[in-house]
Structure 1
Amino acid sequence: MTRYASRLSSPIGAPEPLSLRAIRLILLVAGLAMFPFEPAVAHVKWFAPYIIDAPPQPVTTVIADIWFWIGIALVVIFFAGTRLIEISTWGEKIHRGLDRATAFLWNRLDDYVRVTVGAFFVAIFSVGGVYLTPDLKTPSEWVSWLQLLIAGCIFFRPTMPLAGIGIIALWLLALRDYDLFHLFDYLALGVGVAAYLIMEPSKNEALRSHRFEALRWGLAIALMWSSLEKFAYPEWFYPLVEEKPFLTFGMPRDVFIPMAGVAEFTMGFGLLWTPLVRRLSAIALLVIFTAAVWPFGRIDLIGHGLIMAILVAVACDQCRKTRMLPSLKIHIAAIPGGVATALLVFATAYWGLHLTFYGSEYSLQAAPDERATHSYNPDHPHGPRADEGIGAPPTKQ
Structure 2
Amino acid sequence: MFSLRARDAMSASWAVSLLSKSLTGFSFWIVGTGAASAHVKWFCAYDAAGQPRGLENVLCRDFELLLGVALLWFFSGCVVERTSLGELLVRSINRVTEGLRLHTEVMIRAVCGFFFISLWAVGGIILTPELKTTSPQVGLLQLAIAAGLLSRRTMPFSAAGIVVLFGLAVRDYGTFHLADYPIFLGLAAYLALTGLQKDLFGVPPLDVVRYATAVTLMWASVEKWAYPEWSFPLLIEHPGITLGFDNEFYMRAAGMVEFTLAFALAWTPLVRRVAAAMLLGMFISACFEFGWLDVIGHSGIIVVLVAILADDRPREAEYRAPWLAPAGLCAALTVTLFTYYVGHAAMFNTSIL
CA contact (8 A) 1:199 1:207 kept: no
- What is the aligned partner in structure 1 of residue 102 from structure 2? 107
Alpha-carbon offset, residue 85 of structure 1: 1.7
- What is the aligned partner in structure 1 of residue 54 from structure 2? 58
- What is the aligned partner in structure 1 of residue 85 from structure 2? 90
CA contact (8 A) 2:28 2:257 kept: no
Percent of residue pairs identical: 36
Tell whether 2:229 aligns with 1:263: no
Out of 344, 355, 358, which is 2:345 matched to?
355
Alpha-carbon offset, residue 165 of structure 1: 1.0
Q: Partners of 1:355 and 1:181 in 2: how far apart? A: 11
Q: Partners of 1:347 and 1:280 in 2: how far apart? A: 25
- What is the aligned partner in structure 1 of residue 306 from structure 2? 312
- What is the aligned partner in structure 1 of residue 131 from structure 2? 136
- What is the aligned partner in structure 2 of residue 286 from structure 1? 280
Out of 65, 74, 80, which is 1:79 matched to?
74
Out of 144, 162, 181, which is 1:167 matched to?
162
- What is the aligned partner in structure 1 of residue 22 from structure 2? none
Alpha-carbon offset, residue 162 of structure 1: 0.8
**SS of equivalent to 1:330:** coil
Which aligned pairs between 1:314-329 and structure 2 lie closer than 5 A? Answer: 314-321=308-315, 326=318
CA contact (8 A) 1:35 1:288 kept: no
- What is the aligned partner in structure 1 of residue 9 from structure 2? none
Out of 310, 334, 343, which is 1:344 matched to?
334
Larger relative helix fraction: 2
Q: Which amino acid aligns with 1:264?
A: E
How large is the RMSD of aligned CA atoms in angstroms?
Answer: 2.0
Q: Partners of 1:299 and 1:81 in 2: how far apart? A: 36
Q: Which amino acid aligns with 2:133?
A: T
Alpha-carbon offset, residue 175 of structure 1: 2.8
Q: Partners of 1:59 and 1:203 in 2: how far apart? A: 45
CA contact (8 A) 2:74 2:326 kept: no
TM-score with structure 2 setting the length: 0.88
Which aligned pairs between 1:1-397 and structure 2 lie closer than 5 A? Answer: 34-36=29-31, 38-41=33-36, 42-64=38-60, 66-186=61-181, 188-204=182-198, 210-321=204-315, 326=318, 330-360=320-350, 363=351
Q: Partners of 1:206 and 1:124 in 2: how far apart? A: 29
TM-score with structure 1 setting the length: 0.78
Q: Partners of 1:210 and 1:39 in 2: how far apart? A: 30
Q: Partners of 1:149 and 1:241 in 2: how far apart? A: 38
Q: Partners of 2:99 and 2:55 in 1: how far apart? A: 46
Aligned length, in residue pairs: 327
- Unaligned 5+ segments in structure 1 are 1-30, 369-397
CA contact (8 A) 2:28 2:253 kept: no
Q: Which amino acid aligns with 1:132?
A: L
Change (3 A) 1:37 1:257: farther
Change (3 A) 1:36 1:98: closer
Q: Partners of 1:334 and 1:322 in 2: how far apart? A: 16
CA contact (8 A) 1:39 1:248 kept: no
Q: Which amino acid aligns with 1:215?
A: V
What do the CA deviations read for 1:291-321 (whole angstroms, capped 9, x no partner)? 0112211101111111111110010000232
Alpha-carbon offset, residue 206 of structure 1: 7.7
